[in-house]
Chain A
């Protein structure tokens, strides 16, 4: 079932128009890169989809359910199937790696037991498998802030894996990492996309990464969708439309 974004608009309380009537449809299994300059509205778009930010108007429909109209309870049920990873990783720094991964499961487990810090053994096992998948099983008991940036982002991916997501939102997941690490992280995301069939929406800064991983690109400029197509369709004219006239093309 597709993800339909319909005339999505976000105007912040201070009057900033971050998104303006953005519409597109994403089919299952696509790897969509969201590109655009800083402040173009990429983060706002991704957060409006799972309503971490309330859109001002417009609709987001996923699996036939209108997310924008969901009650708080329904919204939690929807969110638990949508993984999200962040540029700053957003781990709980003082908690262990294992606990951080387990928190990805909070939408599924018994809420009262989870408040006491209890997770059933089956969930702990699931968390260890997720950590194995990102190659961090031996660091399960370390504190999250003892890990390197690349390792922290892999914990972030493992946390998202715990949700058994159908959709993954990634907000500049590699912008704080060096190019080698960037590829390693994106390969994990690619594997999720190819092997598990998870639909991916991922904002990216570098076009070479877009070409390498994405099956489709959506370009934003000042909150308006200015491009929607395959990565190889981005020629010089299109590039300047997205990034402005002065921009120089590097890589890709």
Chain B
């Protein structure tokens, strides 16, 4: 390393360390600055004395300081994934039971009135219809333990308990946080205890000393007919279709625009005259700048510009793809065999004819291969772009995550994985056939 390089490194590292010390304000960072100077001074002294240079102590100090700040800024918390595993568990469990199928059902409902709260000592209440049910109390308030038993029920269907308040709001009765579901035994009997839920509607509280009528509903849920795709599954399927279509259109438009532009960014075609060189550098610069902006950022911009939805997502992917493909395409053109170009120039063909007959046939297969690959990338990208409002599955997925709809999230994640894998395979096959 030359003296000039060493001086440059010394200055760069010194400024970095001083900058970090000023920013974070830790005393130990100032100490590291001092140690860096001592270490490099020691190295300089050795060099001056004609001994072998020894830079590693100073280098070590600089690295410790830089990684130390990096660690702090990144808020590294190695235990968090283990300590907070309970946040993740529902998602993992849901993955094993995604929301895929529903069974069409028929419900038979027994309604048992319950006075809330009690204005008299509670007594059991009995309902007789096809079967008989007894509720342990005809009045209750939130938190009371109630018992429900029944007789004469069919053994197969599952039984659900619902609580309906006076304005018709309905909630499922839970047991240990999960929906309560039971079945009658072989003799047609069941018995269960549950806790009366908080259900008095806000603003409709009964005056002191009076009660209002709620209902406990017992649903006998009979499955009629085979499994059907669940609503979440249908929605995931539809949104995945939308996602693939967004990617397809974005890629196609991008190819149509990038392919002609790429010829203007190919060094071997744009040699010679000054204007040609200028166009070459302008195209190159355009591709490089646009390519370095993530599609997600374009997504946010286009959502503001053209409004929420698939069109914004498509535009975002398209713009990024134009630049990415333009760069790749122009590199393909730069690597063609120059022989045919030379041969056709020698026949007196004009520039466009040379491109049409000597360049295009050489580049088309690789163009197609890159285009298919891009489509594949764009499908993956467009699942994300929905998170910022760009249409497709991402939008739904972000909602489900917010609502903690674990099983729906699982359905979406599995759907994305399957489609991406399938397209990965298809694109690999297409590319293998072509090149």
Contact = CB atoms under 8 A, between A and B. Distances in A.
A84 B53 CA distance: 62
A84 B343 contact: yes
Given A79-B348, A95-B361, A107-B348, A115 B356 contact: yes
Given A94-B361, A114-B356, A115-B356, A79 B345 contact: yes
B348 A106 contact: yes
Give the most central of B344, B347, B352, B362: most A CB within 10 Å: B347
A6 B358 CA distance: 32
B353 interface: yes
Contact of B348 (A80, A90, A114): A80
Interface residues of B, number: 21
A90 B356 contact: no
Contacts of A159: 343, 347
Interface string A148-192: 000000001001001100000100000000000000000000000
B7 to A, nearest CB: 34
A115 B344 CA distance: 14
A99 B350 CA distance: 17
B354 to A, nearest CB: 8
A106 B339 contact: no
Contacts of B352: 111, 115
Secondary structure class of chain B's binding surface, majority of residues: helix
A93 B340 CA distance: 9
B368 to A, nearest CB: 12
B361 A86 contact: no
B350 A103 contact: no
B347 A103 contact: yes
Given A106-B349, A107-B348, A95 B342 contact: no
A82 B346 contact: yes
Interface string A101-121: 001111110010011010000
Contacts of A104: 347
Given A79-B346, A90-B343, A103 B357 contact: yes
Contacts of B344: 103, 106
A92 interface: yes
A92 B340 contact: yes
A92 B358 contact: yes
Contacts of A99: 357
A56 interface: no
Interface string B231-257: 000000000000000000000000000
B357 A106 contact: yes
Give the most central of A76, A92, A115, A117: most B CB within 10 Å: A92
Given A50-B346, A103-B344, A163-B348, A88 B353 contact: no
B222 to A, nearest CB: 66
Contacts of B346: 50, 52, 79, 82-84, 169
Interface in B330-386: 337, 339-340, 342-350, 352-353, 356-358, 361-362, 364-365
A182 to B, nearest CB: 20
Interface in B85-130: none
B431 to A, nearest CB: 17
A59 to B, nearest CB: 19
A111 B339 contact: no
Given A94-B361, A106-B353, A111-B353, A78 B348 contact: yes
A77 interface: yes
A60 interface: no
B312 to A, nearest CB: 37
Given A86-B339, A115-B352, A92 B357 contact: yes
A115 B345 contact: no
Nearest to B352: A115
A91 interface: yes
Contact of B340 (A78, A91, A117): A91
A176 B349 CA distance: 26
Given A79-B347, A107-B349, A90 B342 contact: yes
Nearest to B359: A92
A213 B340 CA distance: 27
A209 to B, nearest CB: 23
Nearest to B364: A94
6 contacts: A82-B346, A91-B343, A92-B357, A103-B343, A103-B357, A156-B343
Interface of B: 337, 339-340, 342-350, 352-353, 356-358, 361-362, 364-365
Given A82-B346, A103-B357, 20 more contacts: A52-B345, A52-B346, A76-B349, A77-B348, A78-B348, A79-B345, A79-B348, A80-B347, A83-B347, A84-B346, A86-B339, A88-B339, A90-B342, A91-B340, A94-B364, A103-B358, A106-B350, A111-B352, A114-B356, A115-B353
